[in-house]
Amino acid sequence: MAATVVAPQVLSTSKRGHDSSAGSLLFLAALWLSLAMAIVFLMTLVVTTAVDGAGRFDSALITEYGSKLTPDTTGLRAALLGTLWLMVTTALLAIPIGIAAAVYLEEFADNTRWYNRLVELNLQNLAAIPSVIYGMLAVGIVALVGIQRTGIILVGAVALGLLILPVIIITTREAVRAVPREIREGSLALGATPLQTTWRQVLPSAIPGIATGTIIALSRAIGEAAPLLIVGVAVTVRFDPTGIMSAFTAMPIQIFNWTSESREEFKVAAAAAIIVLLGMVLLLNGLAIFIRNKFQRRW
């Protein structure tokens, strides 16, 4: 009895699959073509840049300061250290605030209240704001606190931190939301407080998702030049940053500066620096993928 019911269904679906197979093949081909085009462009860009910069993959690129006088040995030292300082400071500023905001919105906020709904609505919009605006915002904020010098690591980090905050909040909320309700209920039923439940169950379970989102956000911030230009980051720096109040330069700024030079040596150095920056971004993204795969949990 069951067989006679099932058989026509199998037949009819296979028939329908056959009918549209020409169309679906075409569609699939179009998708593959789009993908191939994207990859070809990307590869061309990377390869030509690498070829352009081939002459400068030397130790001087890393160990020397930028120099107008000796273009052959001009280097990224200040920019590399500056970017490192900048990223660490940005992470320290943005991650705790972003996680706290996300946990509040997801676990504690009463979303029938208008102010919580307003925050919800604006988070999505915030992620779409042009990055230059964050530079201006950072300058405004530090002026309010009374810091006069703006081209310092702290101010750059405030700008980039504000830039990635919405992304961190959104990805953290998704990671927190993915923790099943049963886990929360199990904890609360044992007499744990909501805060203990968040702290001991929800957050540890959400860490892989949070880490992945945060690293992706940082890898976006690392290549940002616009907000740093607004903040007034120096272009030629011939000393190592010593702290968050130190003036500095960063990778994208250094690259921007070299590409606007007319001498050929700087163009080569810029190409080499782009590959270094690209390597840093790939490293961060690789780390994110590693964390996601290693700690992925199926409920």
Partner 1 sequence: MGPNTATTAKPGSVDDQSVDAPLLEPQVDNQRDLPPEPSGVMECEDLNVYYGDFHAVHDVNLIFGRHEITALIGPSGCGKTTVLRCLNRMNDLVAGARVAGRVAYHGADIYDSKVDAIEVRRRIGMVFQKPNPFPKSIYDNVAYGPRVIGMEVDDLDSHVEGALRDAALWDEVKDKLKQSAFGLSGGQQQRLCIARTIATKPDVILMDEPCSSLDPIATSHIEDLMVDLREQYTIIIVTHNMQQAARVSDRTAFFTARPDETTGNRTGLLVEFDQTKTIFSNPSDRRTEAYISGRFG
Binding partner 1 (rule: CB under 8 A), the pick from 130, 140, 186, 243 is: 186
The answer to whether 200 contacts partner 1 (rule: CB under 8 A) is yes
Binding partner 1 (rule: CB under 8 A), the pick from 150, 171, 205, 214 is: 205
Stretch that binds partner 1, among 6-14, 19-27, 123-131, 187-195 (CB under 8 A): 187-195
The answer to whether 294 contacts partner 1 (rule: CB under 8 A) is no
**Closer of 200 and 263 to partner 1 (Cβ):** 200
Query: 10 Å Cβ neighbour count for 110?
Result: 8
Rg of the chain, C-alpha, whole Å: 25
**Cα torsion 128, 129, 135, 140: sign:** negative
The DSSP element (H or E) to which 3 belongs, if any, is helix 2-19
Binding partner 1 (rule: CB under 8 A), the pick from 180, 243, 279, 286 is: 180
The answer to whether 286 contacts partner 1 (rule: CB under 8 A) is no
What is the Cα–Cα distance from 190 to 219, expressed in whole angstroms? 41
Binding partner 1 (rule: CB under 8 A), the pick from 8, 128, 182, 262 is: 182
**Closer of 68 and 297 to partner 1 (Cβ):** 297
The answer to whether 117 contacts partner 1 (rule: CB under 8 A) is no
| Helix, strand counts (H, E) of the chain | 13, 0
The answer to whether 192 contacts partner 1 (rule: CB under 8 A) is yes
The answer to whether 198 contacts partner 1 (rule: CB under 8 A) is no
**Closer of 48 and 296 to partner 1 (Cβ):** 296
Pair 153, 237: CB distance under 8 Å: no
Binding partner 1 (rule: CB under 8 A), the pick from 185, 238, 242, 243 is: 185
Distances in whole angstroms, Cα of residue 36 to Cα of each of 23, 44, 127, 271, 278: 20, 12, 29, 24, 21
Binding partner 1 (rule: CB under 8 A), the pick from 1, 189, 262, 294 is: 189
Pair 279, 219: CB distance under 8 Å: no
Longest dimension (CA), the chain: 90
Instruction: Name the residues that contact partner 1, by CB under 8 A.
Output: 180, 182-193, 196, 200-201, 204-205, 297
